[in-house]
């Protein structure tokens, strides 16, 4: 499912955010990943409610097939940006500034994985500064995987996953029959939506696209 807020400049490019709305069997997929989907939708609602004028289009995508190997986002990246099999860029590849993903449960955001892209460190540090009192200040150069931002990263696009409090995600709810609505933390989800909206807004109004890593060679994406 894809929706967007058109930018004021059609040539300025796109910022994406997303999560996956499919779920594992047994539970109802509340923390994996209705939580991330709800945060993405709330971030968009915040930007719409504030009627912010952003030069770049903001596009939200809620993926299916993540539980089967991130197939939804992989198909989207292949169709719109680049096929990792040949690494030949499509026209939209040069227009995407960043993709932000949320897929580690219902916990509050504590920072962001920079995905081995140290060029974004000073940018993200500035953007996180207002949320220090809310517990979000961590930047790690580490790359994290096993979710939808990886499909963007493997074709040289800036794709990022936020760091979250683990809560019960790894110990109780992830892929279990305990992954139910009552395991969601409303306050943490509100905090995450505010931070994600802020990152998306700053990316959408930044004069330049976010810096990119080199495109991996064919077969190494």
14-20 vs 96-101, strand pairing mode: parallel
C-alpha to C-alpha distance for 80 and 86, rounded to whole angstroms: 14
Q: How confident is the model at residue 11 (pLDDT cuts 50, 70, 90)?
A: very high
For residue 135, is it within any domain? no
140 forms beta bridges with: 113
Site of tokens 């894809």: 2
pLDDT digits (tens, 9 = 90+) for 170-179: 999 999 999 9
Q: Which residue range(s) make up the domain with 21?
A: 2-108+145-205
Report whether 147 contacts 66 (CB < 8 A).
yes
| Torsions phi, psi for 91 (to 5 deg) | -55, -35
For residue 22, is it within any domain? yes
For residue 127, is it within any domain? no
For residue 137, is it within any domain? no
96-101 vs 159-164, strand pairing mode: parallel
Count of domains in the chain?
Answer: 1
Report whether 16 contacts 199 (CB < 8 A).
no
Q: Tell me the CATH number at 151.
A: 3.40.630.10
For residue 7, is it within any domain? yes
- pTM greater than 0.85 (yes/no): yes
pLDDT digits (tens, 9 = 90+) for 74-107: 999 999 999 999 999 999 999 999 999 999 999 9
For residue 121, is it within any domain? no
For residue 150, is it within any domain? yes
220 has pLDDT over 80: no
Report whether 78 contacts 31 (CB < 8 A).
no
Choose among 203, 195, 198: nearest CA to 120. Answer: 203
For residue 82, is it within any domain? yes
Determine the Cα angle at 122 with ends 118 and 124, to 5°.
90
């Amino acid at each position: 499912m894809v929706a967007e807020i058109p930018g004021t400049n059609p040539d300025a490019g796109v910022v994406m955010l997303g999560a996956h709305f499919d779920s594992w069997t047994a539970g109802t997929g509340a923390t994996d990943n209705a939580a991330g989907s709800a945060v993405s939708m709330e971030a968009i609602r915040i930007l719409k409610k504030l009627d912010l004028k952003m030069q770049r289009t903001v596009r939200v995508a809620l993926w299916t097939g993540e539980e089967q190997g991130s197939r939804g986002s992989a198909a989207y990246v292949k169709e719109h940006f680049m096929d990792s099999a040949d690494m030949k860029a499509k026209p939209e590849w040069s227009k995407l500034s960043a993709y932000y993903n949320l897929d580690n449960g219902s916990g509050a955001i504590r920072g962001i994985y920079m995905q081995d892209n140290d060029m974004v460190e000073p940018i993200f540090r500035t953007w996180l500064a207002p949320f220090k009192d809310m517990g979000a200040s961590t930047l790690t150069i580490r790359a994290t995987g096993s979710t939808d931002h990886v499909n963007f990263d493997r074709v040289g696009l800036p794709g990022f996953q936020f760091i979250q409090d683990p809560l019960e995600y790894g110990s109780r709810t992830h892929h279990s029959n305990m992954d139910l609505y009552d395991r969601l933390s409303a306050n943490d989800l509100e905090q995450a939506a505010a931070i994600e909206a802020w990152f998306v807004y700053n990316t959408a109004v930044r004069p330049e696209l976010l810096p990119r890593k080199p495109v991996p060679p064919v077969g190494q994406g």
